Structure 1
Amino acid sequence: MDFSTLDLGQEATHAHTSAWVASTLRRQIAEGQLLPGTKLSEQVLAQALGVSRNTLREGFTLLDSELIITRIPNRGVFVASPTAEDVREIYAVRRTVEPAAAAWGSTLDLSTMRDIIETARSAQRNGDVSGMAGANQRFHELLVASTGSSLLGELMGRVLARMRLVFHAMRDAPDFHTHYVQGNAHVLDLLEAGKRLEAAEALRRYLDTAEAELLEHLRAAQEN
């Protein structure tokens, strides 16, 4: 991959630290710019980010602890490829955090959430799988942001980066995302109607279904 094309976003107060490196790469993974199995060249990536190799390695260590990247001895560092256990772990977190946000988040931005749904529907009409996946990510990120918790927001950023890797495993099943465009729209309809506990329960069922579908897809892929 040509790392010079990466969108590094706005320079932050702590730019060019290991935390900034990890945050930048995590965002690129969450946005689908770095795909599972991509080799992360130290020399090229350090130059693209404008950091030393030591700082880059420290950033890698943070991402390795989050299971977003994989270090393979004598081969290098790679963007991780998801396993069934990764899917179970991701959905255990999502089932705990997201329904609670739907039920009790204090700053729901329903207008922006509706805009995201319309973006997802437009992507669906155009057969844009990546666009649907990206809108899905933004919807759930915004839902968790309604809690007002920076810690939960940071956790969700990590979860969504791992989730995007899982979505790439479904690239040969383009209809997968279509179900969840409608699922998100249903959850939002309930939130707009003030039926927050019903929205939370609908979201929990939706997450159960998505997890089961992903696990079945991974199982079938391993058998083929």
Structure 2
Amino acid sequence: MSAQPGPSPNARQYALTALRERISAGLWEPGEKVNEQELAATLGVSRNTLREAFAALSGDGIITRVPNRGVFISSPGIADVRDIYGARAALEPAALQWGRDLDVGLLSQIVTATEEARGRGDRHAVADANQRFHREIVAGLGSPALDETMARLLARMRLVFVRVLAAEPDFHAPYVDENRQVVGLLQARERAEAAGLLRVMIMRTGDRLADLLR
């Protein structure tokens, strides 16, 4: 008897992307158990496909598989913050300095939307727009591989922020003005200066998050 074919690459990628988007949107809490059967039905994929996506997320440190208990959303700590922000401090400034597809107009629009959200006190919209700002910076490199890397980092970041925002609900608010400064430098064609400012911002944010998680 021939072996049954495994899930198609397209199905695996669809499930993986959908899971990362759900985590980035804050739909699960750190430590929360994932209902595999319900999730497979919601996504319209098989349990085998879902398990392959879980295996990839486990490798990224986003979920944890516990034998005989199931799949749980990871609860990141200080080491995770250092890893995430070290990677971002290398990737995002490079995108600002050398990204050939960098859309400064779009970045400015995102900052404007963030400013408006902050003005009306919509903390969730501020956090979402801030993530989009950083995702679009990396998109300026025009590399699907680096876009996927950033998607993994953003999913892990969201889990960090779920823990932090309970203690500091306005955590993102001060960074709106700094994002505007970055855009201003880009509009002035000072890409190296914008990259330097962003790197300082990212490293400082990582230090602040690590302190909050102690």
Considering the TM-score relative to the shorter chain, is it more than 0.5? yes
Indicate conservation of the 8 Å contact 2:22/2:28, yes or no.
yes
Within a 5 Å distance, the mapping from 1:100-179 to structure 2 comes to 100-171=94-165, 172-179=167-174
Q: How does 1:1-224 map to 2 (within 5 A)?
A: 15=10, 17-171=11-165, 172-219=167-214
- What is the DSSP-based 3-state SS (H/G/I as helix, E as strand, rest coil) of the residue aligned with 1:169? helix
Amino acid aligned to 2:129: A
TM-score normalised by structure 1 residue count: 0.88
Retained in 2: the 8 A contact 1:133–1:167? no
The separation in 1 between residues aligned to 2:121 and 2:72, in whole angstroms, is 29
TM-score normalized by structure 2? 0.92
CA RMSD of aligned residues (A): 1.4
Q: How many angstroms does 1:200 deviate by?
A: 0.6
User: How many aligned residue pairs are there?
Assistant: 206
- Give per-residue Cα distances to partners, 1:48-85, cap 9 Å, x unaligned: 11122111111110111111111123321111111111
Match of 1:222 in 2: none
SS of 1:78's equivalent? strand
Helix, strand or coil at the partner of 1:35: coil
Matched to 1:211, the amino acid is G
Amino acid corresponding to residue 218 of structure 1 in structure 2:
L
Q: Which one scores higher on RCO, CA 8 angstroms, separation ≥ 6?
A: 2
The offset of 1:14, in angstroms, is: 5.7
Give the secondary structure class of the aligned counterpart of 1:45. Answer: helix
Shift of 1:183: 1.4
Cα distance in 1 between the residues matched to 2:40 and 2:61: 21
Structure 2 letter corresponding to 1:59: A
| Percent identical | 47
Distance in 2 separating the partners of 1:183 and 1:20: 35
Residues of 1 paired with 2:108 and 2:39: CA distance?
Answer: 37
- State the SS of the aligned residue for 1:176: coil
Secondary structure of 2:72's counterpart equals strand
**CA deviation string 1:142-175 (max 9, x = no partner):** 0111111111111111111111111112212023
